[in-house]
Structure 1
Amino acid sequence: MRIGIDARELSGRATGVGRYLAGLLREWTNGERARSHEFVLYAPEPVGITLDAHRFATRIIPGTSGTWWEQMRLPSVAAADHLDVFFAPAYTAPLRLDVPTVVTIHDLSYVAHPEWFRLREGARRRWLTRATAARARAIVTVSEFSKREIVERLGVSEAKVRVVPQGIDAPAGLAEARGDRERAEAGSADLSAVARSAEAEGAKAGDADPRLLYVGSIFNRRRVPDLIRAVAALARRRSGISLDLVGDNRTFPPQDIDRAIANHGMTGRVRWHRYATEEALRDLYARARAFAFLSEYEGLGMTPLEALAVGIPPVVLDTPAARESLEHAAMYVPINGDVPAVALALETALFDERARARVLGAAPAALAKYEWPHAARETLAVLERA
């Protein structure tokens, strides 16, 4: 079988969808079942992943990555490759391509909350996603929550939608490195003595300059200004608290993140990294003691899972998608905008050893669903059946 793939998200700086596709391709490179297939990748510039050129051909189609490239430039090139199926990993697919299509729709934020998107962008996304979903042979999505959204909001058959959770890209070896560092900092202390008061634990942890971490593109739904306010409130009663924000600002209506940091007196204590290399990101995870991700709408929030995989307890909003993915392995706060409640949850995640142990103890059960070999195998099966 010859499988065509829209690989635009692998060009340039890979974000969520790019990492999703890269994870699948790595498994298909090594998987025995995938060896019987040939893959053709289409992108406007070279892709940032090394693959076997004999099995993974790359077609560079010059142009600006966008709707025109997807709908007008890609189909004519792909048609000449005599594909058996086409895989679109990012919500939409070329409508003029006359081969069976499988599309991954990660979430429907632009359908559920059009107010978060510019008028033209939101209309384009909604129209193309509806048209792609209606035309596709199968739809892959990453959670039961997103499946319900797709069926209800796009009006497609439930049988057409297959839930295939993706894998987790936690930095290799980081959990062990964090454990070694924390054991070294603890010295000969009896770590099982959880009966000590939270205040005493907080004083001990505070000596190590406790750091919070947020990773992800900054959208309005992720409430980064509320996070900054909560960290500022916590910093007034806990010395040494700081926050690293990692992600570019994609908010609409626009939010001024720099001003929010300055207005709350957190300049120098909230560090905003618009982009971080893999090495820099690994260092930030290694230094973090707790993770914060206050998103009110996700198909599947991957960065809290990645934090959990390396031994960092996450603080998240109490949403259906978060409950589905993290189960008992998170500290939940109400979705009602209660900033003091967020500050209290952050304080608990940083300093309450009993609560931290409870969350991290629940991690293996939550993380078991997110394995790249399973994701690649099940996604390939959907493509084979299409």
Structure 2
Amino acid sequence: MKVGFGTTALARSIAHGGVDGIGSYTRELGRALLAGGGVDLVPVGFRAFVGNDVLPGARPPVNLGRHAVMATLGAVSPWKCVAEEELVTQHVDVFHATDHLIPKLSAIPVIATLMDAIVLSNPEWTTVKLAALRRWLLRRSGTWADHVITISEYSKRSIVEHFGISAERISVVPLGVHPRFFGQIDQTARDEVLKRLGLPERFFLCLGTLQPRKNLDRVMDAHSSLPPGLRREFPLVVVGMAGWGCESLVARLRASETEGRARWLQYLPDFDVRVLMQSASALVFTSLGEGFGLPVVEAFASRLLVIASNTTSVPEVAADAAILVDPCSSGEIADAMRLVIEGPREADVIREAGLARARAFTWQACAEKTLAVYQSVLDGSCRS
């Protein structure tokens, strides 16, 4: 089976020096598909130069035109993607749009991964660049897929509601945890990283780009409600680049840094992040909306206790292996922080449950289920 594999987001993230989010999903799924055998991947880029090294082991890449132009023409007319000829020439059997860039094809079935419907369900959590026209275009292009892959049952329900795609055309394929998160880093190496970063032995960790959806203001409210001694003993360490709508949050973080109650480390290399995940007292992941919440299971694999939201997809992913709280209640978040500090026995039990939970999510399983969707679409049992 030869699969056209959307790699635009991956190529762009590689060019900018850091792979995460959709780019990480594309890379890990692609690697697992190639390792499993039985499938040839043809990397495809839209207005992004995709080189031969984007997915080692894949076929030579195909670079097409600008997706926004193609999608707009397809949305307002019967026009089909003229670049389809290139894919037909390559003998591509099916096209998998891994990164929301979905072409309108006629001769080749299309499978699209839609991580969630957040840009449609909660546009206030997205940047102003995602204007009404772009949201409309995303909704329209989503309907071009013969079948949709999403990453949680929560996302499936949300896609049915906001994209208008029937549940029968959507398959849930959970994400995986890379094996590196399970490997324990030597204590000496961990101590060296903490010393270099100027961090204490105990701290609360937050991971993710600074943006309204990540709910860091309430996390800071919760941390500020702890007694002064505990705030200094267990500071809040935030790892993530500044996103949009975070100007006041950045100012607040800077002020907390001067008082010794918080640290904002912005970007860190992967090894340093894993050291922090194996050294922190807990990950605080009280996001207002997630399609999956991969940092939760990566923390589980790192044997890190997790305080997480009890809404959207997170309870489905975390099950009983995290301390679940109402993300809109700074009081509940603070109570969970106190439990971590004061209840080591309870924390150990939850930590072990987290490690067992993480082992249920592998990229191999993700690839096998994705390949089954490809085959079902080609057989005709999954097509609209």
Displacement, 1:77? 4.8
Q: For 1:41, which of 44, 47, 50 is the aligned residue?
A: 44
> 1:79 touches 1:97 (CA, 8 Å); kept in 2?
no
> 1:178 touches 1:310 (CA, 8 Å); kept in 2?
no
> 1:45 touches 1:61 (CA, 8 Å); kept in 2?
no
- 1:108-143 deviations in whole A, cap 9, x for unaligned? 111111222345514244223321221111000000
Query: Counterpart of 2:99?
Result: 90
2:249 corresponds to 1:244 = no
2:144 corresponds to 1:135 = yes
Query: Counterpart of 2:85?
Result: 79
Per the alignment, in what secondary structure is the counterpart of residue 4 of structure 1? strand
> 1:142 touches 1:164 (CA, 8 Å); kept in 2?
yes
> 2:182 touches 2:301 (CA, 8 Å); kept in 1?
no
Q: For residue 99 of structure 1, what is the amino acid of its counterpart?
A: I
> 1:175 touches 1:311 (CA, 8 Å); kept in 2?
no
Q: For residue 233 of structure 1, what is the amino acid of its counterpart?
A: S
> 1:102 touches 1:138 (CA, 8 Å); kept in 2?
yes
Per the alignment, in what secondary structure is the counterpart of residue 42 of structure 1? strand
Does the C-alpha gap of structure 1 residues 78 and 96 become closer, same or farther in structure 2, counting only changes over 3 Å? closer
What is the TM-score with the length of structure 1 in the denominator?
0.81
2:25 corresponds to 1:30 = no
Q: State the distance in 1 between where 2:330 and 2:226 align.
A: 10
Q: State the distance in 1 between where 2:214 and 2:5 align.
A: 30
Does the C-alpha gap of structure 1 residues 347 and 170 become closer, same or farther in structure 2, counting only changes over 3 Å? farther
Q: For residue 333 of structure 1, what is the amino acid of its counterpart?
A: V
Query: Counterpart of 2:215?
Result: 223
Query: Counterpart of 1:362?
Result: 353
Does the C-alpha gap of structure 1 residues 282 and 367 become closer, same or farther in structure 2, counting only changes over 3 Å? closer
> 1:46 touches 1:60 (CA, 8 Å); kept in 2?
yes
Paired-residue identity, %? 24
Aligned ranges 1:117-136 → 2 under 5 Å: 117-118=126-127, 121-136=130-145
Mind listing any 5+ residue stretches in structure 2 that lack a counterpart?
74-80, 192-198, 378-384
Aligned ranges 1:101-112 → 2 under 5 Å: 101-112=110-121
Query: Counterpart of 1:188?
Result: none
Q: CA RMSD in A?
A: 3.1
Displacement, 1:148? 0.8
Does the C-alpha gap of structure 1 residues 232 and 133 become closer, same or farther in structure 2, counting only changes over 3 Å? same
Aligned ranges 1:1-386 → 2 under 5 Å: 1-11=1-11, 12=14, 13-34=18-39, 37-42=40-45, 44-46=48-50, 51-53=55-57, 55-60=58-63, 67-68=68-69, 76-77=82-83, 79-82=85-88, 83-95=92-104, 99-118=108-127, 121-169=130-178, 171-175=180-184, 177=186, 209-234=201-226, 236-238=228-230, 239-252=232-245, 254-264=246-256, 268-335=260-327, 337-386=328-377
Q: For residue 303 of structure 1, what is the amino acid of its counterpart?
A: P
Does the C-alpha gap of structure 1 residues 291 and 81 become closer, same or farther in structure 2, counting only changes over 3 Å? same
Q: For residue 87 of structure 1, what is the amino acid of its counterpart?
A: H
Does the C-alpha gap of structure 1 residues 49 and 357 become closer, same or farther in structure 2, counting only changes over 3 Å? farther
Does the C-alpha gap of structure 1 residues 15 and 69 become closer, same or farther in structure 2, counting only changes over 3 Å? farther
Q: State the distance in 2 between where 1:282 and 1:118 align.
A: 29
> 1:229 touches 1:264 (CA, 8 Å); kept in 2?
no
Larger CA deviation: 14-23 vs 344-353: 344-353
What is the TM-score with the length of structure 2 in the denominator?
0.81
Q: State the distance in 2 between where 1:77 and 1:226 align.
A: 47
Mind listing any 5+ residue stretches in structure 1 that lack a counterpart?
183-206
